[in-house]
Structures are given as structure tokens and as C-alpha cells.
Chain A
Amino acid sequence: MNTSRRGFLRGTFAGSTVAVGLPFLDCFLDDSGTALAGTRQTLPSVFGNWFQYLGLNPGRWVPDQTGADYKNKVELAMFDPWKSRINLFSGGFYHLDGRPVETHRTGVQIATLGGIPGGRESGASLDSDIAEIIGRRTRFQTLDVTGTGGRFGVSKRAGAAYKPVESSPAALYRRIFGPEFTDPNAAEFVPSTKALAKSSVLSQITEQRRAVLRTVGAADRARLDEYFTSLRQLEQQIAMQLEPPEPLPACSPPPSIGAEAEAGGEVTAVERNVDLFGSLIVHAITCGQTRVFNVTMNTQGCRKAGSTQNWHGYTHEEPIDDALGYQPETTWFIMWANKIFANFLKKLESTPEGAGSVLDRVLVLWQTDHGYARTHTMDNVTTMTVGNAGGLFRTGRHIALAGDPVTRVGLTVQQGFGVRVSAWGSQSNRVTRPITDILA
């Protein structure tokens, strides 16, 4: 079965196109979350959350053009090699609904939870919602790391406190590839009872459904025939779940990892640890250990060796250079952080898997806490996705959200991964319309 059976629906209203895209439902995949049986193997999609504090410089990243033919400005130009896989969102808004900004916190909450929590209990972050759908059959529902030290990241379950993050690559290595690791290429297959049950139900009632055809006129019969054709495809998908999966040839668990640096904000240490974490994440993906990962880059404390000022300090205390028009040190950090992300993307792209690379089935959601860290703005917040998660999304676009809440991106990503949600977020950040342009 190929993925084109997931068609999309187009209607035109007043000249513009409406496309209704659809999620890649988890029921199409078997229990170990690996392949769809059939002539073309498709590996399961993976979601990654990359949260980077302190944002970019407004004016140096929003492309002048929207749509597919846009040119990156200086701060995002280094992502040009992946431009066709990237969706860039400008003009997004974190709405406050009258509440004062809790700097470097409110933006995080809105980006990951969809809104500012009302009390001490709050909902799940969007990566948790996605993990509920795609991560239930992997050994680790999510992998949460931080490149910048610290104990907590931005991911959480409903009600509970924030999930702790791994700040030591060595510890993460032991967790994944230590003695409890089981090679997936040796797994025994057991079909899910739910799929068996659903298959039985369908075979019971199909005859009954078809009886309807006898009660309608010819024109209606033709239309109902189409319904039954669609139904047949669904039945085939379910039948597939009852077959054993293909092995994972790309999985090669590393025997060890290199020396890690001391977790913290010093720039070379951050580079080193993120590099090690990146490798581990890639291995974990190819070995089917997880389908959701979170990387928290709490960049506020990042500083150059020997310097006492950190990135956060620079954002507020460094003056804007009259000739350059921006804060030089702050901008150095912005470009440095972007380079780290680019290196991570390179790692995903250079690891072969299936017909291409690991990046082919990944979508990384890049988010930040403010539009402009210097004055803690909540408008024009940079948001981007890299990758199309195995064809679940369309990419290569610059989309101007034009004041829409950033939560529209979160809603769209969740829907693309199959989270059954028709609305996300609270109060003015509550959205019901996904960005259909990027849903496949």
C-alpha cells in the first residue's frame, strides 16, 4: 500500500483553495510501530521538539516573500540546505489576555501548552499529546534532553510537574543502549487485539452496510458505491496491521559514545553535548526506541569561556550598534545557536535509512520564548518546522501568520501526527483552524 491512498480534498471558495489534509493514523502501523506491509516500506514518523530560548533579531529573519519561493534573511540563511524541508512561520503571536508577561516563561507555556495555565495544574505539552498517539508502542515514549544543563525541560504531562531532562549524554547512553536494550531486529511479532477485534467487526457488518444499496435510486447508488470503495481501502489498512513488520536494517546500536563535557552554559561544552545527544537521538530513532524527542536549549545562561556576561545579559544590557543596527554579541549567540541546530539537522540528514535518511521521517518543531528577547515581545515570534515526518506534511513554505496565535502551528503539527484534536489552546490562544497549506 502506498501513501497516495491518503489523498487530500480540495474545494475552492471564492477563488482560493481549501485543502483538507488528513492525519497518518497510527492504526495503519503495526504494534512495534514499524513498517506497513506491502511493496514500499514506510518507517514510522518521528516528532522532535527543539525549544530554544531568546529568539532571533526581528528584521533579520522574516523573509520578504511568502509561500514556496522565499529567500532567507541573514539569521536563517544557514538553513538554506534544508529549505525545501522547512516551513517558516512569521508574524505569530503569543496572546496574554491581559496578564503581565512572565519573561522567558509565558512564551514557553503558550508554545508548549497552548496557553497560560490557570492554576498550579496545567495540561500536557504538545509533544506529550503527540507521544500519546505515536509513542505508545516504543520503549521510550519520549526522550528528553537538554544541551545547556539544568534539570527540567519544557515537556510535561497533564497535571504533573515538568519532566526532568537528561543533561548528561553518557547517562542517556546507558539508559538507551545499556543492558536493557533489546535489538528490534530480533523481535517476535504479536498482532494487536484491537486490530483483530476491529477487523472482525468490519467483516460482520460490511454485508449489512451494503444492504443499503438496494434501497436507493440509481444516482444515489453510484454515490454510495464511492463510499464503499473508500471503506474498502480502510479495511485493507486494518488488515495490514495483522501482519508482521519488517526488520529495521538501519539500526546499529553504538558500542560507546565519546567523552562528554560538563553540563552547563559554556559554549564549547554546549556544542559538545548537543553533538553527543544528537547522535544518541539518531540511533534511538533508527533502532525504534522512541518516536518523540525533546531538546531544551535554555540559552539564557550560555556564555563564552572567560566572559562573565551571558546571552541573556547581553540581550538587555548590550546596546544596539548604530552602524550594524543590532546587538553584536547577542547576535553572535543567535548565529551560534542556529549553527548548533543546523549541525543537528546535518546529523539527521547524513544517517542513511530506508531509501533516504533519518530526516525523511522526522519533523522537528523549532520554537522560542519571545519575538525579541531584548524587550520580551510576544509578537512576531519565530517558529519553524524542519522535515515532513514521512510525508505527513508539506514543506518549503514561508507562512505569514499575520497576528494569528502561534498555537495554530502546534495544532497543525498535532493533527498531522494524528492527535484527535479539533481545537487547541486557551482563551485568545485557542485555535480551531489548522494551517492546511502544510498538511499533506
Chain B
Amino acid sequence: MAVRAASALAATLILCLSPTAGAAETSRSFVVSFFAQQFTNQPGDCPGGINPEDERGQISVALRTMGYGPAEVRRLMAGWDKGGEGERRVAEILERRAVINGEPVNPMTHPEAVPDPNLKFVSAQKSVGFDLDGRRTAEDFIDLRTGVAGIDNQLFRALGCNQNFRGTWTSPSAYGEWVWVQLRDSQPAWLLTITGPSSGRDGLVKVRIQRSLDRLSANMDGSPRAHSTYRLDPDPRSINEFDGVIKDGVLTISRQPKFSILWNGLSAPVLNLSDFQLRLQQDARGQWDGLIGGFQPWRELYFAFSHNGIVGDRPGLWHAMKKAADHDPDPRTGQNLGISVAYRLTAIPAFVAVADPRLRSASAKR
């Protein structure tokens, strides 16, 4: 009985991307098993010091930018330390940190109205990322891993001296890891499907990156579960198709005009990258690891930061990103709306399926 019921209820039609007749093409699919901004700090890359991350430090900076002198700030903070009346006094002052037309407003949602606290920038030579604009400028980095010059990663420059945005290649930033761990079990997974000639790994390929209806499947110990099946989300807002090249186990996609995928409320509602590039390396187990990059609208990033206390001084981050932005000038104001960024992405083998009520089963060829 249970058997018949299962037959009636069961779902899917499996894996119908590719095979074209003629050249035996194969598709292999993968699910993203980690995704976060990649910040690759090195010793001494913030000569001016790390921006204060504790509440006290941030408040001191805020008071300074509001025009209070150092001695005055010391006095106010001593009162704040004691709590009670002193704390209330400082809070009152901070209420007017952002003012529009004489009325105080929430500084987190109105960062423009907050005087720029001038958070310190990264001034390292090296970073990871991509040469997005094809030009060499003074603010470019040299790639830490490949040595290539002209790397654009202004988000790193702007945020890399804030404690929770600092990381290395092997250890993600606290913020990035936090967001990923917070949402990986509940947000829709991202899928990568690579279609190319079956003979050998190298050659031209088509790469499709899109969202799934299912969340990332995990083993009982929390690690991502390989060879799970994910239903493709047909929503066109999240479907991206590119041409790519695989050579010596490295997949590269160069200079695509646009990449767009629905994301999450802690990061940004949509991940929009223009001048999109991708570089992933495959290991012996078939797992991919590498970067994607492009120019991202920095204001979208800000509104994700803005409701999260661990990132540091949020209006300060607004001004930092605003100053560091390096792409897509607003026709009226000339302010750059896009900022160069690199994201770390790892992906493990998976199957994709089109959700369909018809019942058909077949096993994938090994």
C-alpha cells in the first residue's frame, strides 16, 4: 500500500539539460557549498590601525565626527562608562548624529545625514579578485595568489580595516562566515551546471548558474552532502548562462556583462554583478573552489549591513563604500554606484532536476 502510494505521490523528471545528438556532450552539476565576500588581509595592511569595533570605540569616533574635541570626548565617555546619567547624556547626543532639516533621524537608515567618520582604508598592495575594468589604476591590487596586476577590489579596500571583515584565504571573515552559517540551511541553494564535451576536461563549456527551489542538503554532521538532487528554480531572475573555458582543471568565465541571482535578507535581496568574471579550480574529488567577481551596487550591500550590529560603525561603512566605489557613475551626481568586489565560492557535485509531476527514473552514467 505504501508502495503504491509512493508511486502516486512521487515526483521528478531527472536531469534534462544537455545531451545533444552527435557530439556526446555531458552536463555535470554542482551545488554551492560556501559563498561570502572574500577578504584577504595581510599583516600591516592597515597602517592607520583597525577601525574600532567595540561600541565604546565607535561612539568615540562618532562624537569626534560630530565636532566634539578629544578632551570633551574623553569626559563624555568617562561618564558613559559609569552608566546611568552619563550614559544617558551620550545617548542623547548620539540621537542627533543624523539630522535632516533639523530633525534627528535614524543614522543607520539615513547614513548620508551622518558626518563621515572617515573609517580607515586598506592600503595593502595585494589582494585577490579580478581585473574588472581592464585598466591599471593606482588603486588596483596585485593578485596575492597569481601575481597578476590590475586587480579591482574596492570593497576590500573600503571594509578591510574593520575587524569583522578581515579574513584570509583559508579563514573567512567573521561577517562572511556568520552570514553563511546563519542562512545556509534555510536559503535556496545555488546551482552550477557545466556542459561540455565528454572527452577530457579541457575545452569550451557552457556554464549555467541558477537558484534551486531546495536548500543546501547537509550530512548529519553539518557538512554539505554531495550527490544530492536539487530542483531548478525556473524564476528567470536567477538564471545566468555563460560561455566558459576549462583548462588544466580551472574553469574561467571572462567579462560577462551581467550576473544576477536572488540572494537573502542578510546579504542583499539580489546579487547583481556587472562585468562578471569567474575562476574556479577543481580538485580530485570533483569539488570547485575559487572566486567570482564584478561590480556590485554598494548601496544594496549597505542596507544589508545596516541592520546588523556586528559589522562596525554602519554609517561609517556607507561613507567608506561611497568613497571607494569605482564604477557606474550616476549621470546626475557623478557618484559611482558600483564597487568592485570578489566573492569566494566552493561547490560540490550534485544532481539537478526539473520539478515535474511525471514519473520517470534513470540512473546517471558514471
Contacts and interface: CB of A to CB of B under 8 A. Distances in A.
A and B touch in the complex (CB under 8 A): yes
Interface of A: 91, 93, 96, 98-101, 103, 306, 308-309, 313, 316-317, 319-320, 374-380, 402-404
Contact of A96 (B171, B174, B186): B186
B185 A309 contact: no
A400 to B, nearest CB: 10
A316 B173 CA distance: 11
A35 to B, nearest CB: 44
Contacts of B166: 319
A317 B174 CA distance: 9
Interface stretch (B200-208, B213-221, B237-245): B213-221
Given A98-B215, A100-B183, A375-B178, A317 B81 contact: no
A376 B55 contact: no
B222 A93 contact: yes
5 contacts: A98-B185, A100-B182, A308-B56, A308-B81, A316-B178
Given A317-B310, A402-B221, 7 more contacts: A96-B186, A100-B185, A309-B55, A316-B164, A317-B164, A376-B181, A378-B222
Given A308-B54, A313-B54, A319-B166, A404 B220 contact: yes
A376 B222 CA distance: 13
Given A308-B54, A317-B54, A376 B178 contact: yes
B220 A93 contact: yes
Contacts of B185: 96, 98-100
A99 B187 CA distance: 9
A316 B171 CA distance: 15
A319 B163 contact: yes
B222 A374 contact: no
Interface in B65-82: 81
Interface of B: 53-56, 81, 163-164, 166, 171, 174, 177-178, 181-183, 185-186, 215, 219-222, 310
Contacts of A306: 81
Contact of B55 (A100, A308, A374, A404): A308
B183 A93 contact: no
Contacts of A98: 185-186, 215
A174 to B, nearest CB: 30
A374 B55 CA distance: 17
A255 to B, nearest CB: 37
Contacts of A317: 53-54, 163-164, 310
A402 B222 CA distance: 10
Contacts of B215: 98
A373 to B, nearest CB: 11
Given A98-B215, A308-B56, A319-B163, A374 B174 contact: yes
Contacts of A96: 185-186
SS class, residues of chain A in contact with chain B: loop
A403 B181 contact: no
B310 A316 contact: yes
A162 B183 CA distance: 28
Tell me which of B56, B81, B174, B178 has the highest count of chain A C-beta atoms within 10 A of its own C-beta. Answer: B174
A376 B220 contact: no
Nearest to B312: A317
A376 B178 CA distance: 7
Nearest to A316: B310
B212 to A, nearest CB: 13
A378 B183 CA distance: 12
Contact of A313 (B55, B177, B222): B55
Given A375-B177, A376-B178, A100 B186 contact: yes
**From A306, A375, A380, A404, residue with most partner B Cβ within 10 Å:** A375
A376 B177 CA distance: 10
Contact of A377 (B54, B171, B181, B183): B181
A99 B185 CA distance: 7
Nearest to A313: B54
Residue from the set B163, B164, B220 with the largest chain A CB neighbour count within 10 Å: B220
Contacts of B178: 316, 375-376
B182 A101 contact: yes
A319 to B, nearest CB: 6
Contacts of B171: 320
B221 A375 contact: no
A96 B218 CA distance: 11
A176 to B, nearest CB: 34
Contact of A403 (B81, B222, B310): B222
A330 B196 CA distance: 50
A103 B266 CA distance: 14
A103 B308 CA distance: 13
A317 B310 CA distance: 7
B216 to A, nearest CB: 10
Nearest to B221: A403
B119 to A, nearest CB: 16
A54 to B, nearest CB: 15
Contacts of B222: 93, 377-379, 403
A309 B56 CA distance: 9
B228 to A, nearest CB: 14
B219 A376 contact: no
Contacts of B53: 317
B310 A91 contact: no
A90 to B, nearest CB: 11
A376 B175 CA distance: 12
A436 to B, nearest CB: 19
A99 B186 CA distance: 6
A215 B7 CA distance: 50
A403 B222 CA distance: 8
For the complex of A and B, the 5 pairs showing the least CB-CB separation, nearest first, are: A403-B220, A403-B221, A379-B222, A100-B186, A317-B53
A309 B186 contact: no
Contacts of A378: 222
A100 B220 CA distance: 17
A96 B55 CA distance: 31
Contacts of B183: 100
Nearest to A379: B222
Contacts of A379: 221-222
Contacts of B221: 91, 93, 379-380, 402-403
Contacts of A320: 171
A316 B174 contact: yes
Contacts of B181: 101, 375-377
